[in-house]
Structure formats: structure tokens, C-alpha cells
Amino acid sequence: MVLGVDEACTNIIRHAYALRDDQLIALSMEIGRDCIRIRLRDYGKHAARSKLRCRSQRLIKPGGLGLHLIRNAFDKVDYKLKECGTELVLMKKMDGEASGPNVKKQRSVQKSKNRAGKN
């Protein structure tokens, strides 16, 4: 899941923000009884629907596997186009013991992801 979120943030910086790493990426996480839901919100350029497809794994070249990694890390991937930017919703099913009985937590963090690791 960590790799999937990292790939999603990289795609936001690369495509929505045209490689500007000083722009806002809002992240929220909801942990429920049977799933974890992660939302990544950007305020950049919309991605064309045609660009939201994985490239063929048979095509050997660097890059282009981010969507494949994201879709394999999560059970459901949904893009919600907003008036300004996009919200990416990533959902991973969990067994009942992983999240504990009657657990319902929500945590939101807003920060700018900087590829150099500076915030």
C-alpha cells in the first residue's frame, strides 16, 4: 500500500502539477472494521481519462507502471474529477482482526510532498 500511495503522489506531481513539487497534496485516511480508505486530493490539472490506463506489461521500458502498481496494491481505485483538481480514492479490504473490533478512525494530513523529502 505504501508503494501504491507513493506512486500516486509521484503521478500527481508529474502530471497534475507538471513536476512542481511545492504544490499541495491533501491526504486523508479512514480505517474501518473491514477496509482502509485513502484519499489523495490535488488541485492541479486534470488527467485525461485516456491517460488513466496501465501500459502493457509486455512493453519493456522504464516508467509507466505506476498505475499497475497502484491497482495491484488496492482493491478499488476511483478518480473523482473536481472543479479544481482530482480526488483519488484508494480502498484496501482488511480482515476483521487487522483493524480490530469496532474500530473507526479518521486522520487527515495536508502537506506538500517534495521529491527531495523537504516539507
- Decide if 38 contacts 108 (C-beta within 8 A): no
Distance between CA 28 and CA 106 in Å, rounded? 7
Decide yes or no: CATH 3.90.1150.10 for domain 2-112: no
Distance between CA 61 and CA 86 in Å, rounded? 28
Residue-level pLDDT, tens digit, the chain, 119 residues:
999 999 999 999 999 999 998 999 999 999 999 999 999 999 999 876 666 555 555 655 545 667 888 999 999 999 999 999 999 999 999 875 544 444 445 555 555 555 445 54
- Confidence (pTM): 0.70
Extents of the domains making up the chain: 2-112
- Give per-residue pLDDT as tens, 36-55: 999 999 999 987 666 655 55
Identify the pLDDT of residue 99.
43
Distance between CA 53 and CA 66 in Å, rounded? 10
